[in-house]
Structure 1
Amino acid sequence: MDAIKLYFKQECKLLMLALEHPKPSDFYISVWQATRSPVPLLIWRALLFLTSIGIVITSVTFYAISSVSLGYWFIYLTHWGLTLMILSTGFGFAVSLRTYISGPLSVDYSLPWYVKTFWVLHNMSVPVAFLITLFYWTILYEAGVSEEMNLGLDVSIHGINSVVMFLLLSSSSHPSRLVHVLHPMLFALTYVAFSLIYYLAGGVDTAGNRYVYPVLYWGSAGKAFLVVVITGLLLIVLHFATIGLAAARDAIANRLIRPSVTVHVDERLALRRPTDNV
């Protein structure tokens, strides 16, 4: 109990809202590594990034070749989540690539902007992906809502997104902080604001209905507001679940991998000699 109290006391400090971390290598070296090379995580993140691009290209292509306007692709939360997935895996890949090319990140000042951007995107994309998957399979699937122009793609996308984000989370080392729940909540509130503005502007879905999702129909404002509140609470729970997964990742890796690794390493030490190939 004392450990739990200490955790919440530490995590709820205003200082934790800052995007700072004393160990920059956690952003480009996997928790599962026994070496300091950025190459393993660079390759892994490249695969996740390419997978994300492939998913989005496939989804957009089906819209482009259908009779439905491509503009409708941008109204769905799933596609916002896919865009977030591309940005998150893309910035993760960029952080690893920059480190491989230019060496370790500096610890003298604040974390670079692109590392902070990756951290925020990661904080958003993981719980949002889980939310989209749960939202689809528990509510939208039974309601017959189709966001894709292909049924198979519609079903698969609402699972692949969570798999990609789970793989990104499980291969990382940087922390997931309690107060960073503000990041996914900000994303969710932005979408809620969009859906309301879209409704007030007379927007419709691909079938001509005055909503994007039937459960978020602002013509019944009370019901829509209730759905927003419940979904927001679920997103908070999923953020906690993300923290739990990150903690489990670290605990397992520390038991299996990290005991063989030197604990106190100079963060500024070169990751490879200039003559090395990798």
Structure 2
Amino acid sequence: MFKLSLGLLRSTQTGMAVAQRGLRTYTRYAYFSLNDKKGRQGDGDSQIPALYTPKYSLTHDRVEDMVLSQWSNNPVLYATYLTVAAAYFLFMVFYSALMGTLGMYRYVMLTYWSYYMLTASLLLRTANVWRYITLRNRGRDVYAMMNNTTALKVQWLLHALSCMAAPIVTILFWTIAYDGSGVNFINCNTHGVNAAFILLDTFVTRTPVRLLHLLYGILYGLIYGLFSAIYWLAGGTNHKGEPFIYKPLDYSSSKTVAVSYIVVIAFLVVPMIHCMFFFLYRFRIFITRFLRTMDKRTDGKINPKL
């Protein structure tokens, strides 16, 4: 029994040591990776990049980061993936409108604001990728015709907002707004599939994440909070005839509580969610560079002259 306990203790200590080395390695990488110029993902060259400067703008100097997958330089595969995703979410927009029970009230709900924004983001991303493919196949100058265009900037903005809004909508619905009325296909898609897709897409796309883009998410939350207050002042109700859109935003019961919800979500929850996606983005780049390094080492062992 003593030997078994000693062996278990040694195994635990070994595991903790490995975990600590891994955490130190990733922390060191995450710190120095901020030296990437404008959040550039790099292509493995030996050039020393300029010091990273945090930016809130939507300008970016690499078209490929907006129209390619992290794992492949083949735009057709990525375009196919986006086309299928955009078609599905567009189908759900019409399906929820025809088969849902909310009627016109869905247009005042944060759920559908965010769902329509995600759908618009996917449609624009799909269009931009296919345009990139068309221009490249025709031998046109892709950078001259697409770099920092309004279409790419709007795509990046919608993508950033969707990454913040979809998880928040899902969390708030199942923890606060859900009234126990039952789970159906539409509920699962508008408060589950959207967030799951955003999480998956974060590891598929090459789109960078900038920390200061959280300002757009904060503004989005404040705009919806202001809209909900104006809607209440105008005598608006939800689909059940109650004088609020969501129960937490019941200004007639307590304006302080309603405003507190808006402030907490906008200035605390939104930054937390965005920072989580920034971490996932940096982790995605870490995996990419790690695999690239391993490939180079393997090639070097096979043929030292390479």
Say whether the 8 Å CA contact 1:91–1:114 is kept in structure 2.
yes
**2:227 corresponds to:** 194
**2:291 corresponds to:** 256
Alignment of 1:95-114 (within 5 A): 95-103=128-136, 105-106=142-143, 111-114=148-151
Say whether the 8 Å CA contact 1:45–1:168 is kept in structure 2.
no
Higher relative CO (Cα under 8 Å, sequence separation at least 6) belongs to 1
Cα distance change, pair 153–109 in 1 and its aligned pair in 2 (3 A) = closer
Residue by residue over 1:7-43, the C-alpha shift from the partner in whole angstroms, topping out at 9 and shown as x without a partner, is: 49x88x887122222221111111111xx33111111
What's the TM-score once normalised by structure 1's chain length? 0.81
- Alignment: residue pair count: 251
Q: Which amino acid aligns with 2:99?
A: F
The CA distance in 2 between the partners of 1:92 and 1:37, in whole Å, is: 15
**2:65 corresponds to:** 26
Offset of 1:174 from its aligned partner?
2.4
Which of residues 114, 118, 135 is equivalent to 1:85? 118
The structure whose Rg is larger is 2
The CA distance in 2 between the partners of 1:205 and 1:240, in whole Å, is: 32
**1:229 corresponds to:** 263
Which 4+ stretches in 1 moved above 3 angstroms?
Answer: 1-8, 107-110, 143-146, 257-261
Q: Which amino acid aligns with 1:113?
A: T
**2:193 corresponds to:** 160
The residue matched to 1:160 in structure 2 has which SS? helix
Q: Which amino acid aligns with 1:174?
A: T
**Structure 1 residue 75 corresponds to structure 2 residue 108:** yes
**2:203 corresponds to:** 170
Say whether the 8 Å CA contact 1:176–1:242 is kept in structure 2.
yes
Say whether the 8 Å CA contact 1:16–1:179 is kept in structure 2.
yes
**Structure 1 residue 126 corresponds to structure 2 residue 168:** no
**Structure 1 residue 46 corresponds to structure 2 residue 83:** yes
Which of residues 249, 273, 287 is equivalent to 1:216? 249
Say whether the 8 Å CA contact 1:25–1:105 is kept in structure 2.
no
The CA distance in 2 between the partners of 1:109 and 1:55, in whole Å, is: 30
**1:246 corresponds to:** 281
**1:206 corresponds to:** 239
The range that moved more, 52-61 or 14-23, is 14-23
The CA distance in 1 between the partners of 2:158 and 2:133, in whole Å, is: 21
The CA distance in 1 between the partners of 2:93 and 2:33, in whole Å, is: 42
The CA distance in 1 between the partners of 2:146 and 2:98, in whole Å, is: 44
What's the TM-score once normalised by structure 2's chain length? 0.74
Cα distance change, pair 155–37 in 1 and its aligned pair in 2 (3 A) = closer
Say whether the 8 Å CA contact 2:79–2:129 is kept in structure 1.
yes
**2:9 corresponds to:** none
Offset of 1:256 from its aligned partner?
2.8
Offset of 1:109 from its aligned partner?
8.9
Offset of 1:117 from its aligned partner?
0.7
Residue by residue over 1:177-228, the C-alpha shift from the partner in whole angstroms, topping out at 9 and shown as x without a partner, is: 0111112222212211111111000000111100000111112110001111
The residue matched to 2:277 in structure 1 has which SS? helix
Say whether the 8 Å CA contact 2:248–2:261 is kept in structure 1.
yes
Cα distance change, pair 184–256 in 1 and its aligned pair in 2 (3 A) = same
The CA distance in 1 between the partners of 2:190 and 2:293, in whole Å, is: 35
Unmatched tracts of structure 2, length 5 or more: 1-26, 40-51, 297-306
The CA distance in 2 between the partners of 1:81 and 1:179, in whole Å, is: 20
